[in-house]
Amino acid sequence: MHDIYSLDIRKILFLDIETVSYEKSYSQLSEEKAALWNIKVKHLHSSNNDHPEKMYNRAGIYAEFGKIVCISIGMLTKVNGIDTFKLKSFYGSDERVILEDFADVIGKMIADNLLLCAHNGKEFDFPYIARRMIVNGMKIPPLLDVRFRKPWEVPFLDTMDMWRFGDYKSYTSLKLLTNTLGIPSPKDDIDGSMVGKVYWEDGDIKRIAEYCEKDVVAIFQLFKRYRAEELFNTDNILFSIER
């Protein structure tokens, strides 16, 4: 069992992912894939008559119909003797390269008793990454492969889960929590609903990576607030994407 106050924050890798639909539009799906999407939509929305094509803008949130276009990570470390929250992003149109680069980084850190932390990570980020690795024919790094582990052996922290205190009735967004706890909002440009458009129509993957890194910073700051600590000095945050 983890005690949030005694955790070594320097051994936590904070992360966020951005995903889009695997194909740009419903019309580009193969006949078989379209039929499977139709079934998925029917099961998800059996109470309404939303057309599968209309719902395709949500395909990116499902690992079977989407893909990862960015993984951003951040850790507290020392840079020239100063505590620095250092970020790195893996992004682009080649999902396998993104996943391989990310796997290479966490593969080297496994001996450090590393923990992974994301917002809603247990239900989204962590399983999504693992599933897309399987789709890409990759071996899942030990840190992510929790399929046969006992609950207390899983190295995942989830800032949404920490807010629940046993209450599972609702989803609490990162934006709402940052507002509630007085943390500067990361949503000063785009939000998750716009990622697909920015990727498929604007072709601006760098903008997506910038947004993803801001979310990682917000998750880190949220974690510090959970520990009753002051927010981290933004002057000591080292982004990897030029602004």
DSSP 8-state code for residue 112: G
- Binned at pLDDT 50, 70 and 90, residue 109 comes out as confident
CATH number of the domain to which 186 belongs:
3.30.420.10
Residue 147: Cβ within 10 Å count: 7
Contacts of 90 (CB under 8 A, 6+ apart): 70, 71, 72, 97, 98, 99, 101, 102
3 lies in some domain: no
| pLDDT of 159 strictly over 90 | yes
Give the global pTM: 0.94
User: Could you give the 3-state DSSP secondary structure of residue 72?
Assistant: strand
58 lies in some domain: no
Q: Tell me what pLDDT residue 67 has.
A: 98
- The pLDDT tens digits for 126-146 are 999 999 999 999 999 999 999
Q: Tell me what pLDDT residue 45 has.
A: 63
190 lies in some domain: yes
221 lies in some domain: yes
How far, CA to CA in Å, does 127 sit from each of 38, 53, 64, 131? 23, 26, 12, 6
Q: For the chain, what percent of residues have pLDDT higher than 90?
A: 78
| pLDDT of 123 strictly over 90 | yes
The angle formed by the CA atoms of residues 68, 71 and 73, to the nearest 5 degrees, is 165
Q: Tell me what pLDDT residue 202 has.
A: 92
Q: For the chain, what percent of residues have pLDDT higher than 70?
A: 93
199 lies in some domain: yes
Tell me what the mean pLDDT of segment 59-76 comes to.
97
The tally of domains found in the chain comes to 1
Q: Which helix (H) or strand (E) holds 69?
A: strand 66-79
User: Could you give the 3-state DSSP secondary structure of residue 34?
Assistant: helix
129 lies in some domain: yes
Domain of 173?
A: 9-22+65-238
32 lies in some domain: no
Tokens 């499977």 belong to which residue? 36
46 lies in some domain: no
